[in-house]
Amino acid sequence: MGATPRLLKMRSLWTEVEQCSACEHLQENVTKKVFGDGNVSADIMIVGEGPGAEEDATGHPFVGEAGTLLTDIMHHAGLTREEVFICNAVKCRCWSKKGVAVKNRTPRDSEIDKCRVHLGAQLNIVRPKVVVGLGGTAIAALKGAKLHDVKSTQLAGFTERGKSCWYLWSYHPAYPIHRGRDVAIIEQMVHHLRKAKEMARE
């Protein structure tokens, strides 16, 4: 069986992302662009912040500690990574350097803005029924807002109707990890993804 039209479009977009140097200042310490994984015809699309060190090394989203927790949360919500499409708001690792140490940092508004064209193209190809934004960066990218105007702790659990899909806001899985693997927040995230699954069935 040949590739579907959506898959062909996604492969073409992936080539564009690989060649992108809009954020030239990042490229020195970017090993691999992290485009996205999963079902290109998914009813649910999950959007995170951006690649960390593990994602940058492998080229796949959510493969570090936060990714392991996300996979576990999805399992408890009755979802698998294979049935959804997972990507990030920003495709390159955003880093800062102190001496020889390279550390992850939150993407800047300018970096989110430049990568929004790629995220928008992915949305247009997948055409999901529900988009789940994990954390402030993802929510800002999807809403077209500035980071300082978005607080995921205030928006988590809320839904918004877009032109072609529903948006559901949640926490980034790194958030409960930073709070000592806060069980209450993890349970909320499971509830949010269950809600997304229910919404996708309607």
Per-residue pLDDT of 127-174, as tens digits, reads: 999 999 999 999 999 999 999 999 999 999 999 999 999 999 999 999
SS3 string, the chain, reads: CCCCHHHHHHHHHHHHHHHCCCCHHHHHHCCCCCCCEECCCCCEEEEECCCCHHHHHHCCCCCCHHHHHHHHHHHHCCCCCCCCEEEECCCCCCEEEECCEEEECCCCHHHHHHHHHHHHHHHHHHCCCEEEEEHHHHHHHHHCCCHHHCCHHHHCCCEEECCCCEEEEECCCHHHHHCCCCHHHHHHHHHHHHHHHHHHHC
pLDDT at 118: 98
Tell me the whole-structure pTM to 2 decimals.
0.96
Of the pLDDT bands very low, low, confident and very high (cuts 50, 70, 90), residue 2 is low
Of the pLDDT bands very low, low, confident and very high (cuts 50, 70, 90), residue 3 is confident
- Does residue 53 carry a pLDDT above 90? yes
Q: What is the domain partition of the chain in residue ranges? A: 5-201
Mean pLDDT of the chain: 96
CATH number of this structure's domain 5-201, picked from the four choices 3.40.470.10, 3.40.718.10, 3.40.50.300, 1.10.1510.10? 3.40.470.10
